[in-house]
Chains A and B, each alone.
Chain A
Amino acid sequence: MEKRVRVLVAKPGLDGHDRGAKVVARALRDAGFEVIYTGLRQTPEQIAEAALQEDVNVIALSLLSGAHNHLFPRIVELIREKGMTDVLIIGGGVIPDADIPVLKAAGISEVFTPGTSTTTIIDYIKENVK
Chain B
Amino acid sequence: MDNESLKLKVAEYTAKVEKASAKFPERKNLEYNRLYTPLDLEGQDYEKDLGLPGSYPFTRGVQPTMYRGRFWTMRMYAGFSTAEESNKRYRYLLESGGTGLSCAFDLPTQIGYDSDDIISEGEVGKVGVAIDSLADMEILFDQIDLAKVSTSMTINAPASVLLAMYIAVAEKNGIGPEKLNGTIQNDILKEYAARGTYIFPPKPSMRLITNIFEYCSKNVPNWNTISISGYHIREAGSTAAQEIAFTIADGIAYCEAAIKAGLDVDAFAGRLSFFWNAHNNVLEEVAKFRASRRVWAKIMKERFGAKNPKSWMLRVHTQTAGSMLTAQQPDNNVVRVALQTAAAVMGGTQSLHTNSKDEALALPTEASVRVALRTQQIVAYESGLADVVDPLAGSYYVEAITNQIEAEALKYIQKIDDIGGAVVAIEEGYIQREIQDSAYKWQKEVENNDRVIVGVNKFQIEEKPVEGLLRVDASVGELQKKKLADLRAKRDNAAVTAALAKLEAACGDDSVNLMPIILEAVKTYATLGEICGVMRKVFGEYQAHATL
Q: Do A and B bind each other?
A: yes
A residues engaging B (CB < 8 A)?
13-19, 22-23, 25-27, 29, 35, 37-41, 43, 65-67, 69-71, 94, 96-98, 113-115, 117-119
Q: Are A66 and B127 in contact (CB under 8 A)?
A: yes
Q: Is the CB of B465 within 8 A of A97?
A: yes
Interface readout for B111-146 with A: 1 if CB under 8 Å, 0 if not? 101000001111100110000000000000000000
The winner among A14, A23, A27 for most chain B CB atoms within 10 A is: A14
Residue of A nearest to B80 (CB): A66
Residues on the B chain within 8 Å of A70, using CB: 121-122, 474
Going nearest first, the 3 A-B pairs with the smallest beta carbon separation are: A16-B196, A70-B122, A39-B546
Interface pairs (25), CB distance under 8 Å: A14-B110, A14-B113, A14-B119, A14-B120, A14-B197, A16-B107, A16-B197, A18-B236, A22-B440, A22-B548, A23-B436, A23-B439, A25-B548, A27-B440, A29-B548, A39-B545, A65-B126, A94-B362, A96-B362, A97-B466, A114-B360, A115-B360, A115-B456, A117-B447, A119-B447
Pairwise interchain contact B548-A26, C-beta atoms closer than 8 A: yes
A47–B465 alpha-carbon span in the complex (Å): 31
Closest to A29 in B: B548
Q: Say whether B364 faces chain A, with CB atoms less than 8 Å apart.
A: no
Inter-chain contacts of B119 with A (CB < 8 A): 14, 43
A sample of 5 more A-B contacts (CB under 8 A), given A16-B191, A23-B436, A23-B443, is A16-B107, A22-B548, A39-B544, A96-B362, A118-B443
- Alpha-carbon distance between A28 and B207 when the two chains are bound, in angstroms: 40
Contacts A13-B107, A14-B108 known; A19 to B122 CB distance under 8 Å?
A: no
B472 at interface (Cβ–Cβ under 8 A)?
Answer: yes
| Beta-carbon contact of A17 and B196 below 8 Å | yes
Q: Is B195 interfacial (CB-CB < 8 Å)?
A: yes
CA distance A39 to B544 in the complex (A): 8
Query: With A and B bound together, what is the CA distance between A94 and B358 in angstroms?
Result: 11
Shortest Cβ distance from residue A87 to the other chain B in the assembled complex, whole angstroms? 21
Given A65-B123, A117-B447, A19 and B107 touching (CB < 8 A)?
Answer: no
CB distance from A61 to the nearest CB of B (A): 13
Q: Specify the chain B residue showing the minimal Cβ separation from A9.
A: B548
Write the B321-344 contact mask toward A (1 if CB under 8 angstroms, else 0): 001001110000000000000000
Indicate if B469 sits at the interface (CB-CB under 8 A). yes
* Contact of B236 (CB < 8 Å), options: A19, A98, A115: A19
Assess whether B361 is interfacial by the CB under 8 Å rule: yes
Q: Does B235 contact A (CB under 8 A)?
A: yes
Q: From DSSP, what is the main secondary structure of chain A's interface residues?
A: loop
Q: Which residue of B lies closest to A40 (CB)?
A: B196
| Complex contacts, A41 vs chain B, CB 8 Å | 111, 196
Closest partner residue, chain B, to A43 (CB atom)? B119
Question: Once the chains bind, are B362 and A19 in contact (CB under 8 Å)?
Answer: no
CA distance A113 to B237 in the complex (A): 18
The answer to whether A98 and B126 have CB atoms under 8 Å apart is no
* Interface contact B546-A96, CB-CB below 8 Å: no
CA distance A69 to B107 in the complex (A): 16
Closest to B127 in A: A65
Chain B, residue nearest A39 (CB) = B546
Q: A14-B119, A23-B443 are in contact. Are A66 and B326 (CB under 8 A)?
A: no
Instruction: Evaluate contact between B440 and A23: CB separation under 8 angstroms.
Output: yes
Q: A19-B236, A22-B439 are in contact. Are A13 and B546 (CB under 8 A)?
A: no
Interface-central residue, B108, B127, B326, by most chain A CB under 10 Å:
B127
Q: State how many angstroms separate the Cβ of B159 from the closest Cβ of chain A.
A: 16
Known: A13-B122, A18-B196, A66-B472. A115 touches B323 (CB 8 A): no
Considering only CB atoms, which chain B residue lies closest to A15 in the complex? B107
Instruction: Let me know if A35 and B443 touch, CB within 8 A.
Output: no
Contacting residues, chain B, for A69 (C-beta < 8 A): 122, 474
A67, B360: Cβ atoms under 8 Å? no
Given A23-B443, A35-B548, A66-B472: A94 in contact with B122 (beta carbons within 8 A): no
**Chain B residues with CB under 8 A of A71:** 122
CA A34 to CA B453, docked complex, whole Å:
30
With known contacts A65-B127, A69-B122, A113-B327, A14–B111 Cβ distance under 8 A: yes
* B residues less than 8 Å from A118 (CB atoms): 443, 447
- Report how far A29 CA is from B326 CA in the complex, Å: 26
